[in-house]
């Protein structure tokens, strides 16, 4: 599926965003079809602006069909010259031999960063030269290189204007479109925009000011309390979420199987304090959580990823 997704992403003049329409017209089990869909969507989601949840957007249709021996995957997508089709075939025997009842993956945790100064949000983001870690404070944005070892500071930007007087730790980092360098910051009382680079200059406006089209600028949105994760063993989709409860108590992280329509979720980890922010990483291979450690008073950033059981 990754090869097919790469072929689609490489189509010339492909203009998103598209709504993924996945249709299983084969005898493949729903769980296996959804696993393929998760793998395909995760790869395309790494191309900014290519996929959207808006059902009114143009369709990127994927249809699963089959012959006596092959699973046939057909992708149809609209382009300025009329449309493009990509086809891949996989042996049905390869799926028949898979064990559909694989045990659930488990969660791995890695401490990435900690500091005394409050952290409102953190986000791991893919650029053309690798991943970076953006860390948002009340008055500062830090950008770190994001290797497996200790992150190295790449850029720092002061947020213009006085910090909004608030006990809330509300704040959010967003990349709103296909430009991998353009980001937005949502903060109490203001919204800022900037471009990733060796030197970052932030442009901020009051959150309630009118935008260029005469409408009101969006106020700060609530931080997400869940993140998508893809299991590396079978490419199934899982949802990592937190209690989002009392910020004076320890918190818990839960996993929910994305193939299940029910609300059931399983507690997998207790954190050292409240989870203040939780975001998906590039291609949903990992997620980033901001935790206030109640024992030390430090703000910690953890990276979580799924690993497969033997």
Question: Do you find a cis peptide bond into 129, omega within 30 degrees of 0?
Answer: no
- Position with higher pLDDT, 304 vs 11: 304
Q: Where are the domains of the chain?
A: 2-96, 106-167+223-307
Question: How does DSSP classify residue 57?
Answer: S
E strands, 1-102, are 19-24, 59-66, 70-77, 84-91
* 69-114 pLDDT tens trace: 889 999 999 888 788 999 999 888 776 655 445 567 889 999 999 9
Alpha-carbon gap, residue 120 to 100, rounded angstroms: 40
Helix ranges, the chain (H):
2-9, 30-45, 92-96
The whole-angstrom separation of Cα 293 and Cα 58 is: 45
Lowest-pLDDT range of 23-27, 203-207, 265-269: 265-269
pTM above 0.95, yes or no: no
Using 50, 70 and 90 to split pLDDT, how confident is the model at 218? very low
Fold of 2-96: Double Stranded RNA Binding Domain (3.30.160)
pLDDT tens figures, 34-57: 878 887 887 787 776 788 888 888
């Amino acid at each position: 599926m990754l090869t097919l997704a790469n072929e689609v992403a490489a189509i010339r003049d492909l203009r998103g965003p598209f709504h993924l329409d996945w249709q299983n017209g084969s005898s493949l089990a729903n769980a296996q079809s959804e696993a393929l869909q998760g793998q395909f969507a995760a790869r395309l989601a790494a191309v900014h602006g290519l996929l959207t949840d808006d059902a009114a957007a143009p369709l990127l249709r994927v249809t699963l069909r089959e012959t006596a021996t092959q699973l046939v995957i057909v992708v149809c997508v609209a382009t300025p010259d009329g449309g493009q089709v990509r086809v891949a075939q996989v042996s049905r025997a390869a799926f028949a031999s898979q064990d559909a009842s694989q045990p659930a993956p488990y969660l791995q945790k890695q401490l990435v960063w900690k500091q005394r100064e409050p952290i409102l949000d953190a986000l791991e983001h893919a650029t053309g030269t690798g991943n970076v870690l953006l860390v948002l404070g009340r008055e500062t944005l830090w950008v770190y290189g994001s290797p497996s070892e200790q992150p190295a500071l790449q850029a720092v930007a002061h947020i213009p204007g006085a910090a909004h007087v608030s006990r809330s730790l509300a704040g959010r980092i967003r990349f709103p479109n296909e430009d991998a360098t353009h980001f937005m910051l949502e903060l109490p009382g203001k919204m800022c925009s900037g471009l990733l680079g060796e030197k970052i200059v932030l442009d901020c406006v009051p959150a309630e000011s009118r935008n260029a089209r005469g409408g009101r600028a969006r106020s700060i949105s609530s931080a997400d309390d869940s993140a998508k994760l893809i299991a590396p063993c079978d490419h199934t989709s899982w949802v990592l979420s937190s209690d989002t409860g009392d910020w004076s108590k320890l918190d818990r992280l839960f996993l929910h199987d994305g193939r299940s329509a029910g609300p059931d979720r399983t507690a997998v980890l207790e954190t050292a304090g409240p989870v203040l922010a939780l975001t998906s990483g590039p291609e949903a291979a990992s997620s980033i959580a901001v935790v206030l450690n109640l024992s030390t008073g430090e703000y910690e950033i953890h990276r979580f990823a799924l690993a497969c059981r033997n």
